[in-house]
């Protein structure tokens, strides 16, 4: 049982090659043949060695199962990957031109990326004060600045409050635990339209908030508070998950050795729950970065964020600029995902759960 046979089973591979050749002859398209070999070849790759008593029927069954899974994975990932090449389209279309398919370099261009920077600028071709013009006037640059500012501050709020609360919630003595947890998770469950509507009315009231006699709607603070609220559930969930594997005797050991509460927190608890906190913070960050409903209801043009700008772009004049922005966002989520994965591994190492 320990010997590994090659992944690809012989008869299957030959059948695949023959079928691909037929497909190619029928369509004369390398792209179609490539797609065909991917969809039907990847399952073959995963056909592990099966016990000797496996019937042919079971083998076919397994192959079909794997093909279905491959198709589902393709369904999941294709839309995200397909926009990346499209964003380099030289033409203002949302589809592959013939030039792109035949890999003609002139069919590709960076014009939509240039457009991201230049759209809204007073003088995109001028050299004088180009940088300050871009920083202050470019629509997308402003949106990005708003997005990151709002996301950063709301993440800090959500993480600080959320971690504290998670520490309380994971104590065995916590009263009304499930009621309070349900309350704190509910911003994730309640439809955003309802949350945003409620906040829209609430924040528009005058003479209610200190320092903001005109109300909080159309201010950065209003959106930051809204996004912090929406990020809280993620912090609670990830930090309590980390704390569930937390050995409470460590706290007692620390206290037994004479450490104060603060020392215990920063020297013992914090390092251990840090991965949970950071991944919670990342979730809160990406939630804020992606959130658009509350922004639609609460923000003014001055506080437009990237998703808000995309929303109106898609609604009114959908141009490949949106695809270029989308590509940048995909690259960013890959970076965040990598960070999260590294954190998860670190956390597992710390807790002695190294992957096999």
110-149: contacts with another protein (CB under 8 A): none
Out of 300, 342, 346, 349, name the contact with another protein by CB under 8 A. Answer: 300
When asked if residue 260 is in the footprint of another protein (CB under 8 A), the reply is no
Among 322, 323, 345, 342, CA closest to 334: 342
Q: How many angstroms from the chain centroid is the CA of residue 40?
A: 29
Pick the closest to residue 35 from 6, 78, 68, 64 (CA basis).
Answer: 78
Residue 39 makes contact with another protein by CB under 8 A: no
Does 240 sit near another protein (CB under 8 A)? yes
Decide: is 42 part of the binding site for another protein (CB under 8 A). no
CA distance 121 to 114: 11
263: contact with another protein by CB under 8 A: no
How many chain residues bind another protein (CB under 8 A)?
A: 110
In the bound complex, what is the minimum distance in angstroms from residue 134's beta carbon to another protein? 18
Within 192-221, the residues that bind another protein by CB under 8 A are: 192-195, 197-204, 206, 214-215, 217-218
CB 82 within 8 A of CB 108: no
Please tell me whether residue 281 binds another protein under the rule CB under 8 A: no
Stretch that binds another protein, among 13-21, 67-75, 112-120, 252-260 (CB under 8 A): 67-75
Cα–Cα distance, 343 to 349 (Å, whole number): 10
| 44, 83, 143, 273: residue in contact with another protein (rule CB under 8 A) | 83
CA distance 174 to 27: 66
Q: Using the rule CB under 8 A, is 4 a contact of another protein?
A: no
Helix residue spans in the chain (DSSP H): 10-27, 30-45, 56-86, 98-101, 111-118, 130-137, 139-169, 177-189, 192-203, 220-244, 249-256, 261-263, 270-290, 293-298, 306-315, 320-350
Binding-residue pattern over the window 16 to 35 for another protein, x denoting contact by CB under 8 A: -----------x-x--x---
Are the beta carbons of 292 and 147 closer than 8 angstroms?
no
Place of tokens 């309802």: 194
Closest distance to another protein from the beta carbon of 118 (Å):
17
- Contacting residue, 19, 156, 272, 329, with another protein by CB under 8 A: 329
> Minimum CB separation from another protein for residue 94, in Å?
5
Rg of the chain over Cα atoms, rounded to whole angstroms, equals 27
> Least CB distance from residue 105 to another protein, whole Å?
21
Position 336 contacts another protein (CB under 8 A): yes
Q: How far is the CB of 271 from another protein (least distance, A)?
A: 19
- The nearest distance, CB 356 to another protein, in angstroms, is 5
Min separation Cβ 29 and another protein, Å = 7
Both tokens of 118, joined, read 């230049």
Report yes or no: 261 and 268 within 8 Å, Cβ to Cβ. Answer: no
299 binds another protein (CB under 8 A): no
């Amino acid at each position: 049982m320990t010997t590994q046979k090659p992944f690809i089973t012989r008869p299957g591979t030959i059948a695949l090659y023959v079928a691909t050749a037929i497909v190619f002859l029928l369509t004369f398209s390398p792209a179609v043949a490539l797609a065909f070999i991917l969809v039907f070849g990847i399952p073959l790759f995963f056909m592990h060695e099966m016990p000797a008593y496996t019937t042919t029927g079971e083998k076919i069954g397994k192959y079909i199962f794997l093909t279905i899974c491959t198709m589902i994975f393709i369904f999941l990932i294709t839309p995200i990957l397909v926009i990346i090449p499209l964003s380099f389209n030289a033409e203002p279309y949302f589809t592959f031109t013939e030039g792109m398919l035949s890999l003609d370099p002139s069919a590709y261009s960076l014009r939509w990326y240039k457009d991201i920077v230049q759209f809204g600028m007073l003088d995109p071709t001028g050299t004088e004060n180009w940088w300050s013009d871009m920083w202050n006037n470019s629509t997308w640059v402003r949106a990005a600045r708003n997005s990151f500012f709002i996301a950063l501050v709301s993440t800090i709020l959500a993480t600080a409050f959320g971690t504290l609360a998670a520490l309380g919630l994971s104590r065995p003595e916590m009263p009304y635990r499930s009621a309070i947890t349900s309350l704190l998770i509910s911003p994730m469950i309640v439809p955003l339209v309802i949350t945003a509507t409620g906040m829209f009315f609430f924040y528009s009231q005058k003479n209610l908030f200190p320092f903001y006699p005109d109300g909080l709607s159309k201010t950065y603070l209003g959106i930051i508070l809204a996004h912090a609220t929406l990020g809280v559930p993620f912090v609670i969930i990830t930090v309590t998950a980390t704390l569930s594997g937390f050995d409470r005797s460590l706290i007692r050991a620390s206290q037994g050795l004479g450490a104060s509460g603060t020392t215990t927190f920063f020297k013992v608890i914090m390092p251990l729950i840090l991965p949970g906190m950071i991944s919670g913070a990342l979730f809160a960050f990406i939630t804020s970065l992606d959130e658009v409903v509350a922004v639609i209801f609460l923000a003014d043009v001055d506080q437009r964020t990237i998703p808000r700008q995309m929303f109106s772009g898609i609604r009114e004049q959908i141009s490949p600029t949106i695809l270029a922005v989308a590509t940048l966002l995909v690259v960013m989520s890959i970076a965040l995902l990598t960070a999260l994965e590294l954190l998860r591994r670190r956390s597992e190492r710390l807790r002695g759960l190294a992957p096999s």
